Amino acid sequence: VFQVYTSIRNEAGAAVGKLKHSLRQLLILLSSITGIVFLDKNQKNAYCGFMIDGCMSVLSLLITELNDSNRTMEQMEYLESETVDLCSMITRLVTNFRIGTLCVLPTFSNLLTAIATVGDALLKISVLELKNAQGDMEMVDGGEWRDEALGMLLEAVCLLAEDPWLFNVRQGNAQDAATILLKSNLAPLYHSYVTSRIEMAKMEEHYLTANAADLDEVREEISGTSLEEEMTTASSLGRVNLVSSLSCLSSLFQTCLPRLQGLFATEGHDVTPEAAALLEEGRLLIICACHLLTDDTCGETPLIPENILNACGK
């Protein structure tokens, strides 16, 4: 199926487009196969390895095209559906086979690298599109599908990082090796996520203030809820390599705080677009830190997870 898909991937036409979509949907279904269909664990591992290898072969082509600044609008429209479907396939594979099976595969590191690379490419495209729109989010095309694809990747990371197998009391070389791979391959994605989301928030706030525009209440509520959910999932990504994530936030805080202090020290009550963007940067950094270091609870005080306390105590 993978060979058929790659052989027709670059062909145009409505009929071929439908066939490519159907093949991707079939691959997503094949990624979900589990249960008694496998005779033993070895057969299941072999099947998982085959699906990962096939997925990586298509992802390598996708990554090249996502990073191609000369892609046409037609190519971008095609990449939308392919990116969402492949990210869905990754999530299905992680959900189905879990890290205990995936980490023994020789391509596990490649899978993690692909997750980080695709996520980084999606974030950079979103920043560039908003920059071209001068901060006007309503003029940005494709934001929804990029957010959907990124959400699937973050969900896959969350499933990997929070798998109980990693915290088994009978830890051994397999768990240690898997943890090292997670830390080394996924840390760059958290850096990209934080910097990109903050940059986008600054541009949007600058535009809204400069044009005296406000989000309507419904859109603002939806946007706030979506950000809260995304930040919660992204916190799992950040906790994969807590030291690296804290270093990233610390560096951003050190850059932001002197400018905030300078802003508060100046006289006047008018909020310029630049000041609004700076305040939004500070707000997003605080939100990122809160989600990284604490879990929300039913009470008023966020709870510091045990793994955070253990990591800070080392």
Instruction: Indicate if the pLDDT at residue 171 is higher than 60.
Output: no
pTM: 0.90
Average pLDDT, the chain: 89
Residue 307 confidence (pLDDT): 73
Q: pLDDT per residue over 9-43, tens digit each? A: 988 888 898 999 999 999 999 999 988 899 999 99
Q: pLDDT per residue over 212-243, tens digit each? A: 876 666 566 666 677 888 888 999 999 999 99
Structure tokens at 36: 């008694």
Average pLDDT over residues 85-100: 95
Which residue shows structure tokens 């599908």?
145
Q: Which of 131-135, 162-166, 173-177, 272-276 has the lowest mean pLDDT?
A: 173-177
Residue 217 confidence (pLDDT): 63
Q: How open is the CA angle 154-160-164, to the nearest 5 degrees? A: 135
Across 47-51, 212-216, 297-301, the highest mean pLDDT is recorded for: 47-51
Percent of the chain with pLDDT over 70: 90
Is residue 198 within 8 A of residue 286, CB to CB? The reply is no
Average pLDDT over residues 187-201: 96
Residue 309 confidence (pLDDT): 76
Average pLDDT over residues 250-262: 95
Residue 300 confidence (pLDDT): 62
Q: How open is the CA angle 120-227-86, to the nearest 5 degrees? A: 40
Residue 79 confidence (pLDDT): 87
Buried b (16+ CB within 10 A) or exposed e, 256-268: beeebeeeeeeee
DSSP 102-120: HTTSTTHHHHHHHHHHHHH
Please give the Cα distance from 135 to 145 (Å, whole number).
18
CA 67 to chain centre: 16
Instruction: Indicate if the pLDDT at residue 210 is higher than 80.
Output: yes
Residue 206 confidence (pLDDT): 93
Band of pLDDT at residue 117, cut at 50, 70 and 90: very high
Is residue 89 within 8 A of residue 27, CB to CB? The reply is yes
User: Is residue 295 classed as helix, strand or coil in its secondary structure?
Assistant: strand
Please give the Cα distance from 120 to 114 (Å, whole number).
10
Q: How open is the CA angle 302-95-296, to the nearest 5 degrees? A: 5
Burial (CB count within 10 angstroms: exposed 0-12, middle 13-18, buried 19+), residue 56: middle
Band of pLDDT at residue 267, cut at 50, 70 and 90: low
